[in-house]
Structure formats: C-alpha cells, structure tokens
Amino acid sequence: MKQFFYLILGILLLPSQLMAFSKSEVILEDPVGGDILPGGRILEAGSIQDSLIFSKIIPFAIKYTIRLAVGLAVLALIFGGYQYLTAYGDDEKHKLASKTITYALIGLILAITAFGIVTIITNLKIT
C-alpha cells in the first residue's frame, strides 16, 4: 500500500518539477555536443588530462577498486586454506577447498595484472 501511495505521489509531483524551468531560464551558449560536431571546438589532449574527472576521480576509483579486489582475493585464499585444513580427509571438501584456492589465486593474478596495466596507462604522457 505504501509503494502505491509513493507511486501516485511521484506521478502527481512530476509535472510540477518539470514545469519549474521556463524556456527563458535555460540559455545554451554552445550547441550541445559542439565539441564533437564538425566545426565545433577541438577537444585537446591537455584539456582531457587537466579535467577533474580524468586527473583525480577515475584514478582514485581504479586504485581503490583494485586494492579491494586484491584484499578480497587474499581473504578468499585464506578461507580456502582454512577449508583445506578442516577437510579432515573428505575428498569433496578437499576438491572444494582446492577450487577456492585456485580461483583466489587467479583473481589475485588478475587484480595485480590490472594494477600493472592501469599504472602503465596512467604514466603515459600524451603530447
């Protein structure tokens, strides 16, 4: 019932939000997509490297995502080792533990490789 109420409320409030902007308030100085249209501004490599998104935010997100992946792979490796030690001769548990260790090692190798590729790409200088 609450979801239906919120749906109706959203439908009723949507036109008021859409009409909040009049045409006189919206002024476009450059045409939308002018940087990629023929005859528009040329997008230079220096402006891409100096932008906040490409110089700060994306490298930050990539570095911490890779660090998270390495941490999770190490935790999976430890968990697989624990499974292997507590299998007590059960063949199915040994197989499950060895698969866990194998996949954790593959994930660790992929994360380290991704870190190397990202480091190489970010150290390239576009002239």
Indicate the number of domains in the chain.
1
For the beta carbon of residue 111, count every other beta carbon within 10 angstroms: 20
What pLDDT is stored for residue 101 in this prediction? 95
The pTM score is 0.55
Show the low-confidence residues of the chain (pLDDT under 50): 17-18, 21-28, 37
Residue 107 lies in a domain: yes
Residue 60's domain comprises 52-127
Q: Tokens in use for 89?
A: 């001769």
What pLDDT is stored for residue 94 in this prediction? 95
Q: Encode pLDDT of 35-57 as tens digits.
A: 554 555 555 555 555 666 666 77
Residue 59 lies in a domain: yes
Residue 97 lies in a domain: yes
What pLDDT is stored for residue 114 in this prediction? 87
